[in-house]
Amino acid sequence: MTFKEKVNTLITEALLEKPSVFLIDLSISDSFKISVGLDGDNGVALQDCIDISRAIENNLDREEQDFSLEVASVGVGSPLKLTRQYIKNIGRTLIVTTNTEKIEAELVEANDVFIILSWKAREPKKVGKGKETVQKEQQIPYTEIKEAIVTVTF
């Protein structure tokens, strides 16, 4: 079993005890720096990071392979990667970049195939001069999404 496979197995086993927390990113550099990014259905608590870190550190032998370890929750400005993250953020505003456009809108639905965004837009009236506010909705398959980031409003 390679070092990366061993680390991945340890993380998977540790996450079984925390069903609301899930792995977003795992990278191991050439110098054996392990970086683990976590997210959770209800956010990630500091204790979650500590528990995962201990599960990895206590089951690897530094005599066999020296390593450094960093376990953290993904940041607010991090792009969404998993369907589970989209579902968790229903009702929030996203900035979604596709191959053809960039949309800032509310995420109203997410499933295993696509997301639905909803927003208000000003468009020219069909009859007469001026503009009117219309409600727009767009379905976007995950395959067309280049990047989606949750916006934070205060």
pLDDT digits (tens, 9 = 90+) for 114-124: 999 999 988 88
pLDDT for 37: 94
This prediction has a pTM of: 0.84
pLDDT digits (tens, 9 = 90+) for 12-69: 999 999 999 999 999 999 999 999 999 999 889 999 999 999 999 999 988 888 999 9
pLDDT for 113: 94
pLDDT for 153: 76
Number of alpha helices (DSSP H) and beta strands (DSSP E) in the chain: 3, 8
pLDDT digits (tens, 9 = 90+) for 87-123: 999 999 999 999 899 999 999 999 999 999 999 988 8
